[in-house]
Each structure stands twice: as C-alpha cells, then as structure tokens.
Chain A
Amino acid sequence: MTVTPGTGREQLFSRRRRPAGERMLDIVFRQLTLALAAVVAIVLLAIFLTLIQGSHEAIASFGLRFLTTSAWDPVNESYGAFVAIYGTLVSSLLALLIAVPLGVGTALFITEDLIPMQLRELIGLMVELLAAIPSVVLGLWAIFVMEPAIRPVLQLLHAVLGWLPLFSTTPMGPGMAPAILILVVMILPIITAISRDALRQVPVELRQGAYGVGTTRWGAIFAVILPAAISSIIGGVMLALGRAMGETMAVTMIIGNSLNFSFSLLAPGNTIASMLANQFGEADGIQVSALMYAALILMVLTFSVNVLAQWVVRRLSLKY
C-alpha cells in the first residue's frame, strides 16, 4: 500500500484535528511496528555476525585451506571441510537432477486438465502434506524402511557398474545414495508447488492461441506454456536447491557421516549440515570454531542461492 503524504488517504486522515492522546497512540503504534519489522533484518545480520564472530579463530588458523583439505582431526587440532562441502554440493545437485523432472512433470499433470478436478486437488493436497512430514520422521523411515528396500538395487548397481568410480564401493547401509533419494522426497513438494503456481498463472489466451493453430496438448506445453512459466519454475528450483543444501535431519540419519573422502555414491558421506548436527553438541575449543566456520560457509552458500533465485524471478518474470 503506497501512502505518500499529501495525497488522498493521508490527507483525509491528517486534516482531522485529533486529541493529543490519540495522536500519541498513533505515533507509538507506528514506531512499534517499525521496530518489530526491523527485527527480521536485525536477526539476519545477527546470524552473520554470530557466525563470523564464532569462526574467526578457525578462519585465522586455517584460512582458505579449510575449503580444500579434508583432515578432521580433533587430536592434532587440524580441520578441513572439503568432504562436507563436496557432499553438500554433490548430494543437493544430484537430488535436484532427479527431483526437477519429477516435480515439473507432476505439476503439469495436475494443472493441464488431464484428469478430473477432484483427483487433481487430491494429488496436490498429498504433495503438500508430504512437505509437512518432519525431516526427522523421514529420516527414521529412511533408516528402517527405505534403505533396506533399495539396498539390493544399489548392490546390483555396484555389481554391474562397479568399475566406475561413482559405484566403486559395496553398499553397506547408510550412504550418499540413500541420502540423495531422501533429499529428492524432501524437495519434490517445493518444486511441484512452485511449478504448479507458475503454470496456473500462464494466461489462458496463450493456451487458446496454441490450440487454435492446431497443436497437440504437449506441443502447447513445450512450445508455449513451459516457456511462459519458466522464470518462476527456475526460481522455485533454486529455492529447492537452497533447501536441499541446508536439509539436516533426514540426511544426517542416513548419510553415514563419514569424514573420509570417497567418489563413490554408495559409500558413506557427509554434508556441512549433517556434520554440524553430529559434532556440535560434543565439540569444544577450536573444534567449535571450525564448525562455526563450516556453518558460515553453508550460510553463504544458501544465502547466495536464495538471493540469486529472487533475482532470477524478478529479472525474467516480466516477459508475459
């Protein structure tokens, strides 16, 4: 709501003579809401300041070496977060690779008039409810149900493609691959919901035009509807990437939390978030500082992805 002094509403409001108490109350209320709004910005700044303040000791002693070395040795007080950073990037990017076609496909299926209205609403509701299931419950399910169920598949993968570095270890239970699958489950609802909203906002005239020149339904989807919605979908995908990088509990419970580097997706791995969840409680001294440093890296990663996502949406969404 724009309120510029001197125009309509403001004038109507300020012309009236008011008792001092009433005017005072108005001013106090305005200042109060201003202060409450500022809390958000202060919290965001305080997060950065706390992480920087907590990690300056580790930054001073490890510097940028922290990003590229993988020693995690509390005895010799030598720390490097390469394994966790690598795990964060690989797990979230691979999860995205699987979740994007699934999510966008599902969104198309429930917006493009292929099935009756009630069924579409039901599928939409179920995907939304999937987003409400707590991460820790998905982790529990992953440990006891999903991982034993997919282990034979992973073993087959290792038997057939074991010569590739990606599948070079025998799957023993927790590992990168099950963690990626549970991440897919967790980001699928975000991608589906945002794609669905984007597809719904495509003007109906565009569809009618496409059908009018004689295209098939999927011809219209690929040539007209998806291009019209693509900016919001890309924005949603990037938000999902941010979510995947910071996802903690389910991943911590199923990834195996290994501090050793391995190319293999079947071996146990680690992410920054799972490392924090696992070690923060028991850490002290410079280890806390090193963990804060890792948290700062995670914060910067997700912050950049989120800002980029907002920029993409704003930059590209003016096309139609």
Chain B
Amino acid sequence: MDPTNLASASASSGLFERRPLQFDPALRRNRVNKLLTSVSALFAAIAVLPLVLVLLYVLLQGGRLLSLRLFLELPPAPGLSGGGIGNAVLGTILVTLLATLITVPVGIGGGVYLSEYAGKGWFGQFVGFANDVLAGVPSIISGVFIYGMIVATRLFFGQSYSALAGGVALSVLMLPTVIKTTYEGLKLVPNDLRLGAYGVGASRFVTITRVVIPAALTPISTGVVLAIARAAGETAPLIFTALFSPFWPDGVFNPIATLSVLIFNFAIMPYEAQNELAWAASFVLVVMILIANLLSRWISHVSRS
C-alpha cells in the first residue's frame, strides 16, 4: 500500500474523528495483508515442491536398485539387462579428484594474493572482476574450451579424449568458487593476528601460511567441499572431454566413465535396463552430493559454536 493513499484516506475521514485502536480484520488493508501473506506462502510451497518430488523419485526409483553388484560390475551392453555402474562411480571420483588437485592450490594461492597482497590496485580489481565473470561462464562453454585447448590439440600424449581433460574442464568451473571463498575467508581474519605475528618477528610467508590461512581454514574448506560437490554433478564439461567408456578406468590419459555422463547417455536410450541404471546412478550421485553439502554446513556450524 502506498503511504500517500493512507494519509489522504485518514484526512478525508475527519481530523477529529475518533477511531478504535483495535485490530479490525475486516479492513481492506488487513484483508490485503492476509491475502499477500497466503500468496507468498503458496510461492514458498511451490519453490520447495520440486526438491521434494525429485528426491522422492530418485530415492524410490534408484534406491530399490541398490545392491553391492551395482558398485562392482560394469554396465551392460545396450539391450541387455543386469550389470552395474562401478566404473562410473570410480570415474566420477577420479575426475573430481583430478579437478580438486588442480583447483585447490591455484584457488587458494589466488585468494591469498587477492586478500593479502593485491590491495586496491588495478590488477587485484581486474582479477576479482575476471573471477566473477568466470563464475558465470556456462559449464558447456568450459567443455568447448577444453575441447579446443586440449582434446583437439591432443595435448596429453597424443590421446584426444581423456580423464585428465575432463578434470581440467571441471577445475575451470571450480576455480571461481574456491578463489572467492578463500578471499572472503581471509578477509574475515582479524588484522591484529597479522600484526601480532609481525610483532614477534615472523616473515610475511610465515605469517600467511602459519597464522592467517589456519585461522580461515573453516570458510576455505567449506568452499572447497561445495566446489567439489558442484563439480561431481557436472555433465556438460565432460561429454566431449572425458567422453565415456564402458570399461573400467584405464589411467588418466584415456576416456573415462562418469556417473553424470552415464545418466545422460542411459536416460535417452530406449532400453528399460539402461533407464533403471540411470536412476540408480542418480541415486548414488545425489546422495554423494547431498552428503557433501551437509558436510560443508556441518563444518561451518561446528567451528562457529
């Protein structure tokens, strides 16, 4: 309601008229208020509904296929039934691990520079800007980029598609998150800690690595875990970098199966067995990602209390 309306309404009803001060639910403003509250409640219910429905279906459809065999066997050939998704589980872990190994040193190093050295100069501003833009780059673009950079040029030992290329593509997506959370985490470290370390004679390097970074370990690790969780579910950067393989992982220089690409490939196949494995893979992937998300919340919760 617009305040000028309110003012004119009370003026026209007489300046000296006494009005009761009780809450009157029949007033237009109170009815509108109630209506808008119900509308926002409805919107919140609609917003939560997809999560409930998706989780329900993934847990029911995928959960009933859960067995030890699922993790120990290879997927069946198209049209055949049985088999598991063991290679894809391993592949997802391997590709995500590669991406993490690339991202963590670069991301934490970059965050340290931005927070401890860059100041307000143009370079720091520019890197911060580039980081924000990189965070908004669509994941498929990172796939196309790594395809052009690594796969098409056969950069790694003459192999075109490889697990390593997939890991690099994922690390492009993880990097902005890790840099941002490291930077924000380091900014929260009280300056007195740095001054204290200088005061007892520590060098810049020792201050940062022994005092500042340990003090910010919680936000940094929260950011890293969240970045890992996001990367583990990414598909688009992998479909033409790591590609897919129906076999067990064969080193980092060969194509590799991942859960997300397996879901994509098997969801659109016209075979029941493959569709079922897609649901089972979704179950495993969603459980892995939800655990990582809750873990990151738990880390920040524990250290706060």
Contacts and interface: CB of A to CB of B under 8 A. Distances in A.
A and B held together in a complex: yes
Contact of A9 (B44, B138, B195, B285): B195
Interface in A27-76: 29-30, 32-41, 43-44, 46-47, 50-51, 53-54
B236 A273 contact: yes
Interface residues of B, number: 103
B149 A44 contact: no
A2 interface: yes
19 contacts: A3-B117, A13-B198, A22-B203, A26-B203, A37-B110, A51-B145, A54-B152, A109-B44, A114-B40, A133-B55, A135-B235, A144-B275, A215-B1, A242-B136, A246-B137, A249-B264, A276-B140, A298-B141, A299-B137
Closest 6 CB pairs of A and B: A246-B138, A134-B233, A36-B109, A105-B43, A33-B113, A306-B136
Interface stretch (B46-54, B65-73, B93-101, B246-254): B46-54
A109 B43 contact: yes
A286 B88 CA distance: 33
B268 A253 contact: yes
Q: Which of B39, B148, B234 has the most chain A CB within a 10 Å cutoff?
A: B148
Given A13-B198, A141-B57, A29 B139 contact: no
Interface of A is mostly: helix
Nearest to A39: B106
B68 to A, nearest CB: 23
Nearest to A278: B239
Interface string B136-159: 111111111101110010000000
A35 B110 CA distance: 8
Contact of A139 (B137, B152, B267): B267
Interface of A: 1-4, 9, 12-13, 16, 18, 22-23, 25-26, 29-30, 32-41, 43-44, 46-47, 50-51, 53-54, 101-103, 105-106, 108-110, 112, 114-115, 123, 126-130, 132-141, 143-145, 185, 188, 192, 213-219, 221-223, 239, 242-243, 245-249, 252-253, 273, 276-277, 280-281, 291-292, 295, 298-299, 302-303, 305-307, 309-310
Given A109-B41, A130-B47, A218-B33, 5 more contacts: A46-B145, A50-B144, A137-B285, A221-B36, A303-B136
Given A137-B233, A273-B236, A280-B147, A26 B6 contact: no
Given A134-B286, A141-B57, A216-B1, A280 B117 contact: no
A313 B208 CA distance: 32
A17 to B, nearest CB: 10
A37 B127 contact: yes
Nearest to A135: B235
Contact of A280 (B129, B136, B144, B209): B144
Contacts of B144: 50-51, 54, 276, 280, 291-292, 295
A253 B239 CA distance: 13
A136 B263 contact: yes
Interface of B is mostly: helix
B84 to A, nearest CB: 18
B109 A32 contact: yes
Contacts of B187: 1
A30 B209 CA distance: 12
Given A40-B130, A248-B140, A129 B290 contact: yes
Contacts of B1: 215-216, 218-219, 222-223
Contacts of A302: 136-138, 141
B133 A307 contact: yes
Interface in B24-60: 29-30, 32-33, 36-37, 39-44, 46-48, 50-55, 57-58
A252 B1 CA distance: 43
Contacts of B139: 246, 248
